[in-house]
């Protein structure tokens, strides 16, 4: 039950003419998350999971793992500037994408390119930003995937704004907003959840608690009983789920999306998972955590967990496993080949699509760059050599 639903339901006689803001308005109990993360795999309840869903999740997870490995390899080959891997977090990425309808929106962070790929985005487009070339790399409206946000938690108010606007227009749209454990300490997280609850906006906030914000472990990040508990303070339900249990995540997120769709308001879901790789290829995780810890989490691997259930059901034949692996290799090979082609870039695009009306400074910078490019092209044509890089003494500081 939410704040709005419960207004006036308790202590009716306590204040003769109560100032509304003083009255206890909420029974927090129904909003509180479970003490333990919700699980299906390895429990009796797994029997209710549809085999078709299980095989679909498996295919996505295996492709996702291979995609992560290929993207990481591309950083070593200098084809990708930076890659924040979601290895170990594939269940969160895949479930978040699969529970959405076509008209819904996904709001990813830099670590969530796999969620975008699982939603159907071309992997090369998903990696364009991390390659350091052209803006977002895809048309957000076409795919209903907002641009990947590097500034932490900024995608959350965007998600709330879009969801609220859709509701005002009467459009059937739910927004799925992804954020990390570290991102929950940001002001934008607070503002987004507060507005979402007050407006009863159709948003699902999925916190992927992977244990770290770069080198900062969760214990130094938050003293909350769980990150899902934060939901209660805003007046929305908090759910705690095993982030490596793909069918459990699928169930919890489906419920949250359905609730949002029927006007029941937002939900905060905390998925307990683990970032198996370093923060990005530029980070050395051995400086702040032990191999033992990583090994323990490898023992709770999202793919192995689904595999175990599939084989218990007799659904993991050699032929099926091979078919899934072949599909994953095909995706990786396509990604490798296409990322090995040099992109054709127009430096003037730097100034496109930022403002409807460019500022005076941007116009000045644009003119400056155009002149520099023209001078360079002239130098090349005149000398018959490469670009002229001699200083003229007239460069701007
Ligand atoms: C507003 C802001 N502050 C700081 C940073 C630098 N930064 C990049 S990633 C990161 C850690 C984020 O951790 P978390 O939210 O747990 O996400 P994860 O990387 O684990 O997926 C930080 C502090 C940033 N990108 N944006
Ligand atoms: Mg984190």
Q: 308 pLDDT exceeds 80?
A: yes
For residue 360, the model assigns a pLDDT of 95
* Per-residue confidence (pLDDT) for residue 396, from 0 to 100: 33
pLDDT tier at 136, thresholds 50, 70, 90: confident
Tell me the pLDDT tens digit for each residue of 192-207. Answer: 999 999 999 999 999 9
> Tens digit of pLDDT for each residue in 104-128?
999 999 999 999 999 999 999 999 9
CA dihedral 85, 162, 157, 249 (to 10 degrees): -50
pTM of the model: 0.88
Which is the closest atom of ligand 1 to the Cα of 179? 15
Residue whose CA lies nearest to ligand 1 atom number 19:
213
9/51 Cα distance (integer angstroms): 43
Active site residue 275: yes
Q: Report the mean per-residue pLDDT for the chain.
A: 91
When pLDDT is cut at 50, 70 and 90, the band that residue 27 belongs to is confident
Residue 209 Cα to ligand 2 middle (Å): 6
Nearest CA to ligand 1 atom 24: 151
Q: How far apart are CA 185 and CA 197, in angstroms?
A: 18
Q: Catalytic residue among 288, 300, 313, 338, which?
A: 288
| Known catalytic membership, residue 110 | no
Distance, CA 217 to ligand 2 centroid (Å)?
8
Report pLDDT for 135.
Answer: 78
The structure tokens listed for 274 are 């683990």
Given a cut of 60, is residue 3 above it in pLDDT?
A: no
- Taking a C-beta distance cutoff of 8 angstroms, is the pair 49, 40 a contact? yes
The rounded Å distance from CA 209 to ligand 1 centre is 12
Q: Which of 12-16, 299-303, 330-334 has the lowest average pLDDT?
A: 12-16
**pLDDT 10s digits, 237-276:** 999 999 999 999 999 999 999 999 999 999 999 999 999 9
Say if CB 261 and CB 225 are below 8 A apart. no
- Yes or no: say if 231 and 267 are a contact pair by the CB < 8 Å rule: yes
Residue 91 has pLDDT above 50, yes or no: yes
Measured CA to CA in angstroms, residue 271 lies from 33, 199, 210, 249 at distances of 12, 24, 8, 8
The verdict on the CB of residue 88 being under 6 Å from ligand 1 is no
On the CB side of 356, how many CA atoms lie within 13 Å of its CA?
Answer: 0
pLDDT at 380: 83
212 Cα to the center of ligand 2, angstroms: 4
**For residue 363, pLDDT beyond 50:** yes
pLDDT at 389 over 70: no
pLDDT for 68 equals 98
Q: What is the pLDDT of residues 279-288, one digit of tens each?
A: 999 999 999 9
pLDDT at 2 over 90: no
Scored b (16 or more CB within 10 A) or e, 61-89 reads: bbbbbbbbebbbbbbeeebbbbbbbbbbb
Catalytic residue among 66, 79, 239, 275: 275
* CA-proximal residue: ligand 1, atom 26 (nearest): 151
What is the C-alpha to C-alpha distance for residues 118 and 70, in angstroms, rounded to an integer? 15
Active site residue 279: yes
Ligand 1 pocket mutation pick from 214, 271, 280, 289 by most atoms within 8 angstroms of CB = 214
Residue 17 banded pLDDT, cuts 50, 70, 90: low
Which pLDDT score, from 0 to 100, does residue 369 have? Answer: 96
Bridge partners of 38, per DSSP, are 241
Quick one: average pLDDT of 70-79?
Answer: 96
At 24, is the pLDDT very low, low, confident or very high (cuts 50, 70, 90)?
low
Residue 294: exposed, middle, or buried by beta-carbon count in 10 A (0-12, 13-18, 19+)? Answer: middle
């Amino acid at each position: 039950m939410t704040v709005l639903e419960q207004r006036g339901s308790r202590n009716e006689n306590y204040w003769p003419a109560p100032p509304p803001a003083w009255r206890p308005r909420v029974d927090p109990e129904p909003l509180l998350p479970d003490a333990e993360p919700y699980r299906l795999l390895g429990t009796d309840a797994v029997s209710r999971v549809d085999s078709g869903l299980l095989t679909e999740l498996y295919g996505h997870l295996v492709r996702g793992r291979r995609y992560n490995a290929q993207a990481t390899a591309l950083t070593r080959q200098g084809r990708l500037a930076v890659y924040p891997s979601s290895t170990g977090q594939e269940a969160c990425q895949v479930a978040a994408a699969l529970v959405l309808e076509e008209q819904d929106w996904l709001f990813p962070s830099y670590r969530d390119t796999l969620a975008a790929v699982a939603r159907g985005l071309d992997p090369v487009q998903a990696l364009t930003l991390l390659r350091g070339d052209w803006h977002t790399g895809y048309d957000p409206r076409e795919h209903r995937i907002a641009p990947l946000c590097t500034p932490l938690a900024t995608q959350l108010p965007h998600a709330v704004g879009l969801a609220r606007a859709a509701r005002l227009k009467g459009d059937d749209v739910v927004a799925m907003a992804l954020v990390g454990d570290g991102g929950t300490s940001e002001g934008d997280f607070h503002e987004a959840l507060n507005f979402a609850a007050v407006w009863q906006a159709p948003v699902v906030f999925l916190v992927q608690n992977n244990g770290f914000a770069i080198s900062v472990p969760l214990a130094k990040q938050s003293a909350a009983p769980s990150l899902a508990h934060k939901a209660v303070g805003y007046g929305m339900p908090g759910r705690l789920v095993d982030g490596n249990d793909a069918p459990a995540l699928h169930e919890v997120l489906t419920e949250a999306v359905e609730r949002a769709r029927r006007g029941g308001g937002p939900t905060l879901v905390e998925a307990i998972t683990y970032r198996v790789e370093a923060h990005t290829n530029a980070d050395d995780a051995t400086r702040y955590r032990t191999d033992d810890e990583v090994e323990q989490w490898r023992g709770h691997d999202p793919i192995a967990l689904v595999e175990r259930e599939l084989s218990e059901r007799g659904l993991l034949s050699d032929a099926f496993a091979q078919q899934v692996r072949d599909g994953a290799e095909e995706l990786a090979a396509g990604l490798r080949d296409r990322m090995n082609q040099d992109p054709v870039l127009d430096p003037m695009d730097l100034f496109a699509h930022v403002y409807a009306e460019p500022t005076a400074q941007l116009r000045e910078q644009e003119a400056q760059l155009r002149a520099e490019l023209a001078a360079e092209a002239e130098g090349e044509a005149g000398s018959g050599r490469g670009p002229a890089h001699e200083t003229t003494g007239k460069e701007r500081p």
